[in-house]
Amino acid sequence: MIRLTWDRSRRFAAQHAGEALLACICRSVVEDASVTPEQKLPSADTEGTRRWNIARRGFLRQIGVALAGIIVRRPAIAAVSAVAAPVSAAVAASGAELYLTPRYLPPGYRLITKYTNRNDGFGGGPTEIALWYKNPNHPKGGSRPLMIFQAPAPRTEFFATAGHGAELQTITLASGQIVQADYHDGMWGHPPERGAVRPWLTTDAHSLSFRAGTGPMIAIRGWRRAGVTRDELVRVASSLA
């Protein structure tokens, strides 16, 4: 709607600017034609001056005709653009059908942003998205977002869980479909020193990961210190539609 209003305003300004310029050109041509030879300034080359004036009037008439054509054609071009715009929106909407949106969120959480091609999900890629939800009312809510990754073509296992055992969690999606998810009670941390074994941290982060039928691979990671329990993870996953 904003784009359509902007296009209308731009066409209106362009049309009136063109009409004003066309009027000036026409007035110049008329005034020049109405000047008699006696009123013209004397010139050492009267014949050359007369030819120059004829050429100038012809050139100005050509500009006037061209401007008139642009002003007349502009609404038609705008009408074609207005018809084509909904087609692009429909294409974008059909692509969005690949991804799911939660109908339930833990109390206080709301969508903050949407990312694409992050490398801390399933390896990134142009079709992988990540939905970031935060609870601004929780002391830890700003630094510990609830994250939902969706990858139609995952490149890796879910970030910081590869190689660690998982517990199976049965989830019934909003569509009624039943899926088996991997529940990880923690995530890999950074090794304390070079060559040391990476620690498996279970005091805060935990996650669910599963394939939504023929849809994308999904992972939901929450943080216990931000109020997201295992039951909350399951409720968020069950609400995806």
33 and 132 housed in the same domain: no
Q: Are residues 39 and 133 in the same domain?
A: no
User: Domain ends where: 95, 128, 153?
Assistant: 95
| Overall average pLDDT of the 125-141 stretch | 96
Question: pLDDT at residue 3 above 60?
Answer: no
Q: What is the DSSP letter of 204?
A: S
- Residue 102 resides in a domain: no
Answer with the one of 47, 62, 95 that is the final residue of a domain: 95
In a domain, 104, yes or no: no
Give the residue from 70, 95, 120 where a domain finishes: 95
Could you tell me if residue 9 is inside a domain?
yes
Note whether 47 and 148 are same-domain residues: no
Residue 159 sits in the same domain as residue 223: yes
| 189 touches 201 (CB < 8 A) | yes
**Based on the domain organization, do 116 and 176 belong to the same domain?**
yes
Same domain (yes/no): 60, 17: yes
Taking the CA atoms of the chain, what radius of gyration do you get in angstroms? 34
Could you tell me if residue 105 is inside a domain? no
On whether both 69 and 116 belong to a single domain, the answer is no
Confirm whether 101 is domain-assigned.
no
Which structure tokens are listed for 23? 């009027």
Token couple for 65: 């005709």
The burial of 123, by beta-carbon neighbours within 10 Å (0-12 exposed, 13-18 middle, 19 or more buried), is given as middle
% of the chain residues with pLDDT over 70: 60
- Residue whose structure tokens are 């909350």: 232
The token pair at 94 is: 């059909």
Q: Say yes or no: 83 and 117 in one domain.
A: no
Q: Is the pLDDT of residue 182 over 60?
A: yes
- Reported as a single tens digit per residue, the pLDDT across 153-181 is 999 999 999 999 999 999 999 999 999 99
Residues 124 and 227 in one domain: yes
Position 100 in a domain:
no
What is the pLDDT confidence band of residue 30, given thresholds at 50, 70 and 90?
very low
Please give the structure tokens belonging to residue 204.
């805060």
Is residue 80 exposed (0-12), middle (13-18) or buried (19+ Cβ within 10 Å)? exposed
Residue bearing the bigger pLDDT, 28 or 88: 28
Residue 78 has pLDDT above 60, yes or no: no
- Which tokens sit at 100? 């799911």
Same domain as 91, residue 131: no
The answer on pLDDT for 202 being more than 50 is yes
Domain range holding 73?
Answer: 2-95
Question: How is 45-111 classified by DSSP, letter by letter?
Answer: -HHHHHHHHHHHHHHHHHHHHHHHHHHHHHHHHHHHHHHHHHHHHHHHHHHHTTS--BS---TT-EE
pLDDT tens-digit series, residues 32-72: 444 443 333 334 444 554 554 555 555 545 544 444 444 33
Q: Which residue has the tokens 């999900």?
A: 121
Band (pLDDT 50/70/90 cuts) for residue 94 is: very low
Nearest Cα to Cα of residue 210 among 235, 163, 173, 160: 173
For residues 117 and 225, state if they share a domain.
yes
| Residue 103 located in a structural domain | no
Specify the pLDDT at position 56: 53
Per the prediction, the chain carries an average pLDDT of 75
- Length of the chain in residues, anyone? 241
Q: What whole-number distance in Å separates Cα of residue 140 and Cα of residue 224?
A: 10
List, for residues 95-116, the tens digit of each pLDDT value.
Answer: 567 899 999 999 999 999 999 9
Tell whether the model's pLDDT for residue 232 goes beyond 60: yes
Same domain, 118 and 225: yes
142 inside domain: yes
- How many structural domains compose the chain? 2
pTM confidence score? 0.61
* Whole-number pLDDT of residue 183: 98
SS3 210: strand
